[in-house]
Amino acid sequence: MILVILDHDGSHLRKGALEAIARARQLSSLGNLAGLVIGENLGAVAEEARNYLPTVYTAEVGSYTPERWAAAAYAAVQKSGAQVVVVASSRQSRTWTARLALKMNAALLEDTLESSTDGSRVLASRYSFLNRVTEKQAAHLPVVLTAKPNTTPPAEPQGQGGIEALTVEQPGAQVEVLERVAEQKKGVSLSEATVVVTGGRGLGSAEAFAGVEALASVLGGAVGATRAVVDAGWRPYGEQVGQTGKTVQPSVYIALGVSGAVQHQAGMNKSKYIVAVNKDAEAPIFKITDYGVVGDVHQVLPALLEAAKKLKD
Amino acid sequence: MKFIAVLRQVPDNEAKLKIEGGQVSLGGVTLILDGMDEWAVEEVIRLKEAHGGEAVVMALGPERFEEALRTALAMGADRAVHLVAEGYVDPISQAQHLAETIREEAPTLVFTGGQQADWDSQALGPALAEALGWPVVTWTTQLELEGETQAKAKHDLDEGAELVRVPLPAVFTSQQGLNEPRYPTLPGIMKAKKKELRKVPLSVQSKVEVLEQTIQERQRLNQVIDGSKDPVAAANQLIRLLHEEAKVI
Ligand SMILES: Cc1cc2nc3c(=O)[nH]c(=O)nc-3n(C[C@H](O)[C@H](O)[C@H](O)COP(=O)(O)OP(=O)(O)OC[C@H]3O[C@@H](n4cnc5c(N)ncnc54)[C@H](O)[C@@H]3O)c2cc1C
Ligand SMILES: Nc1ncnc2c1ncn2[C@@H]1O[C@H](COP(=O)(O)O)[C@@H](O)[C@H]1O
């Protein structure tokens, strides 16, 4: 049995959930599929999920803690006898799936780009060494696998499954959430944007990001930031790209006043096209750019904005 | 109280990686204490300085990891435990073995890096927590002890952040903003040579096999436009290239 654990926002399945189902279907020679939704008031998402899977388990456990999610997932594994678990990769899921893998004494294949089976093992590829190396991994069952977002086309509906509620024992020691600080998001989500315009310390001030926002908006993209910029308090952490921020893979990544430190590259080096504007022709970012402009960002950015506006008119 | 940091030794960020026989070869590469683990080490040293007790550093890895443990001792950790295992050991198996040793130490808390700079894995912290039966807080940016039995922490989520209270013992993983790691001083380095570094040989079966590693760098066009004299012309050319040649805008 292959168990897909379905990420949702309380009313709908997230895109990652449909990608995870697609990944699970690719492994269907290893067994039948079942889904699991975890959270509270799961009626609507379970109804949606049954359009994709022959069995959908629900685990009403309350709000998220890694301990609860791992306990719920493990209850579904025991109930279904699943030997393979597939989940969309996120910081949150990479926390609780590690707990789950240990409960199952399973191999964990983290943040995989693709996956398949040779009949007895699960094979997968993923990035390592700060996104610089691509590696192929293999593991015998049981296996817990997380699927990197935007690596697989989302699954289409198929059949009409049954819904079954699970009882899950509350775990003992766990975190208690005192306060959640949501970052207000406007415009396109950074992780899913096809165009990302990132500003670095070279912009010189928080105010200069007005130009970055304007360019991102004209191109229908999202704003990114380097750590130097986030540390300076010019932009929120949620926009940071890199090792300790988000990983993005847009069609075009435009880096303005960014030096291109390895830790920054770790979050963007797989972008299809990379563009940089930097006044220093020796800046490391130019080693990985397709189109580089050597110049002052305060002069080039307004001109870029004008040219982009003209193009989009 | 006792505070444990679990660390790794990884290639220096600027190191040029090479592939030999389908595997990353670390020959000739400068190896350092993982930057995210450095935050974890700094944090346990600060906790010990503030609350008393002991700061212990621990690692599971090949002989060469001793250098990274010595760096942590030079920063101010009191002693080190090195589970010596050659070859690749996946983080879940690592957690199972480290947990045994950690349980014997009975610490107040364990800290490790949020993501490993070599394997890009985020699993070690939460897997350790599971093996120990403790709660876990990942991507921690602030930590404050409330006596010996609980702590308050702030940590990053996929979007936004969260303030949590957590019963101790617990496992935490680091995130930028947690602290500013100190540099080892010369007297610190001298003292570190005399500090206890206990080695425990281990033979571990990895649950995951690495079949092949490659460096698939995208061929970049490396087209450079001079924007210093006529920024407007440069900008126009760039937008045209993105639209007509790359077709991405
Ligand atoms: C463990 C660890 C994790 C990290 N994680 C991340 C991460 O996730 N993301 C991240 O971004 N960083 C990360 N860093 C930090 C990283 O090493 C760099 O310090 C950071 O990326 C630098 O940001 P920057 O390029 O904006 O600034 P700088 O390195 O200061 O570069 C500014 C650039 O702007 C150029 N410039 C200046 N003025 C102008 C002008 N008028 N016109 C045009 N160009 C100009 C300069 O030539 C320079 O190249 C991490 C570091 C560590 C140790
Ligand atoms: N990300 C990784 N995943 C799996 N194996 C790795 C990874 N990085 C390095 N290795 C391999 O693990 C083996 C032992 O490396 P070391 O622990 O550095 O002695 C070598 O063959 C490395 O190539």
CB-based contact B50:B169 (threshold 8 Å): no
Residue B147 has pLDDT above 80, yes or no: yes
Higher-pLDDT residue of A135, A182: A135
| Nearest alpha carbon, ligand 2 atom 4 | B210
Distance (Å) from the C-alpha of residue B26 to the closest C-alpha of chain A? 12
Q: pLDDT tens digit string along B59-91?
A: 999 999 999 999 999 999 999 999 999 999 999
pLDDT, residue A290, reads 98
Instruction: Please give the pLDDT value at position B159.
Output: 84
Chain A nearest CA to B242, separation (Å): 8
Q: Is A99 annotated as a binding residue?
A: no
Class of domain A195-312: alpha beta
| Cβ distance of B239 and A290 shorter than 8 Å | no
What's the pLDDT score for residue B13?
Answer: 84
Q: What is the pLDDT of residue B197?
A: 98
Min Cα–Cα distance to chain A from B1, Å: 20
The predicted pLDDT at position A19 comes to 97
Tell me the average pLDDT across A137-147: 98
Q: In angstroms, how far is CA B46 from the centroid of its own chain?
A: 17
pLDDT for A185 equals: 67
Determine whether A251 is exposed, middle or buried from the number of CB atoms within 10 Å of its CB (0-12, 13-18, 19+): middle
Instruction: Indicate if the alpha-carbon torsion angle B65, B67, B73, B76 is positive or negative.
Output: negative
Least confident of A11-20, A180-189, A286-295, A303-312: A180-189
User: Is 80 exceeded by the pLDDT of residue A181?
Assistant: yes
Average pLDDT over residues A205-220: 97
- Contact assignment for A181 to B162 by CB distance below 8 Å: yes
Categorize the per-residue pLDDT at B131 as very low, low, confident or very high, splitting at 50, 70 and 90. very high
Which positions in chain B touch A90 (Cβ < 8 Å)?
158
Cβ atoms of residues B101 and B83 within 8 Å: yes
pLDDT in tens, A6-15: 999 999 999 9
When the candidates are 3.40.630.30, 3.40.50.1370, 3.40.630.40, 3.40.50.620, the CATH number that belongs to B2-201 is: 3.40.50.620
Domain coordinates in residue numbering, chain A: 2-165, 195-312
**Average pLDDT for B138-155:** 97
Domains A2-165 and A195-312 share a fold: yes
**Mean pLDDT for all residues in chain B:** 96
Of A91, A133, A289, the CB nearest to B24: A133
CB atoms under 10 Å from CB of A290, counted, come to 23
Count of C-beta atoms within a 10 Å radius of residue A156: 11
Q: Is the pLDDT of residue B105 over 90?
A: yes
Around B88, how many Cα atoms within 13 Å sit in the side-chain half-sphere? 16
- Comparing A237 with B244, which gets the higher pLDDT? B244
Does any CB of chain B come closer than 8 Å to the CB of residue A113?
no
> Can you tell me the mean pLDDT for A68-78?
97
Per DSSP, the residues of B128-178 read HHHHHT--EEEEEEEEEEETTTEEEEEEE-SSSEEEEEEESSEEEEE-TTS
* Mean pLDDT in residue range B31-49: 98
Asked if residues B107 and B3 have their Cβ atoms less than 8 Å apart, the reply is yes
Whole-number Å distance between alpha carbons of A249 and A265? 11
pLDDT > 70 in chain A, percent: 99
A112, two tokens: 């995989």
Note whether B235 contacts A175, CB cutoff 8 Å: no
Give the CB-side neighbour count of residue B223, counting CA atoms within 13 A: 13
Residue-level pLDDT at B14: 82
Contact B84, B63 (CB under 8 A): yes
Asked if A293 is an interface residue toward chain B (Cβ–Cβ < 8 A), one would say yes
- Average pLDDT over every residue of B88-99: 97
Which residue ranges make up each domain of chain B?
A: 2-201, 219-249
How distant is the alpha carbon of residue B175 from its chain centre? Answer: 9
pLDDT for residue A184: 66
Kindly report the CA angle at A187 between B137 and A114, in degrees rounded to 5? 60
* Average pLDDT, integer, range B6-17: 92
**Range of lowest pLDDT (A34-38, A173-177, B77-81, B100-104):** A173-177
Residue A226 is labelled as binding a ligand: yes
Q: What is the mean pLDDT of chain A?
A: 96
Domain A2-165 has CATH 3.30.70.890: no
**pLDDT interval class at A57 (50, 70, 90):** very high
